[in-house]
Structure 1
């Protein structure tokens, strides 16, 4: 049986770690031993990220660096909102550095990072926390299905 290589439509089960330019780990599936599942070409990852995975097979490990545009994008000023402090309560105080889930009109939660608290105005950033950062991905391919 020939080994299956990751192609344009593969289903891939893999572990990954994301490291920041200072070497600190931002995220890793190994912490909870819950590998990620990816369907190549479904749009959940950038084209350049997927290109880094093409041709890998189960058992392969690879590390690659991605520019912000290929990872989590650049911060979008439209994703920064000013929220009235009265919307925060004792359970979710407005504290700089806190990440709070805000419920969207469709019922899904969107995490926002509190950047600033000035008087009654709270600045909430809904950009991905890693937006604008160069990151290193380390992947370990567990399974490939074509």
Structure 2
């Protein structure tokens, strides 16, 4: 069976980016014991990532690079904020380099990287940590199956065999 809409895909991958010198830098991986399992075509994955996997079969290996625009976007120079230090009075003050969870006025959760700590404010970068970076993927398709009715109605995979707790 080949990868198409409404199939559950299990795959391995290694993700790299490139640094300023153009050298590849390892980011993360999923191996066969901890494969990435997802319902294809539901918008859970980057669209261009899925596009590269369309019509692949079990055992196929893949390797491709997504531009920053096709990944997590370019860095938005306006996506920085200064938070009042008193926001952290009930928790430990973060350190520069920490990634902290935040919530906007509409209840949306996101993460921000701490860039500086000043006397009264904590400066954060609201860009995705992978913004502005090309993403280099390589891996292998290890399973493809039809999605169950439950998975289709829930909009996500229930594990490699379709029976994982959700």
State the TM-score, normalized to the length of structure 2: 0.72
Q: Deviations over 1:49-99 (max 9, x none)?
A: 211101211112211111011112223355432111222359632321111
1:13–1:106 distance in 2 versus 1, CA, 3 Å: farther
1:12 aligns with 2:13: no
Q: Give, in angstroms, the shift of residue 139 of structure 1.
A: 2.4
1:62, 1:140 within 8 Å by CA — same for their partners in 2? Answer: yes
2:40, 2:50 within 8 Å by CA — same for their partners in 1? Answer: yes
Distance in 2, matches of 1:27 and 1:72, equals: 16
2:74, 2:132 within 8 Å by CA — same for their partners in 1? Answer: yes
1:33–1:101 distance in 2 versus 1, CA, 3 Å: farther
CA RMSD of the aligned region, Å? 2.5
Q: Deviations over 1:4-59 (max 9, x none)?
A: 111133210112221011322112123x9421112221112233221110121111
Distance in 2, matches of 1:101 and 1:131, equals: 17
Moved more, 77-86 or 53-62: 77-86
1:92, 1:100 within 8 Å by CA — same for their partners in 2? Answer: no
Q: Which runs of 5+ in 1 are unaligned?
A: none
2:4, 2:41 within 8 Å by CA — same for their partners in 1? Answer: no
Paired residue for 1:66? 66
Q: Which runs of 5+ in 2 are unaligned?
A: 147-166
User: After TM superposition, which residue ranges in structure 1, 4 or more long, deviate above 4 angstroms?
Assistant: 103-109
Paired residue for 1:54? 54
1:85, 1:94 within 8 Å by CA — same for their partners in 2? Answer: no
Distance in 2, matches of 1:116 and 1:42, equals: 38
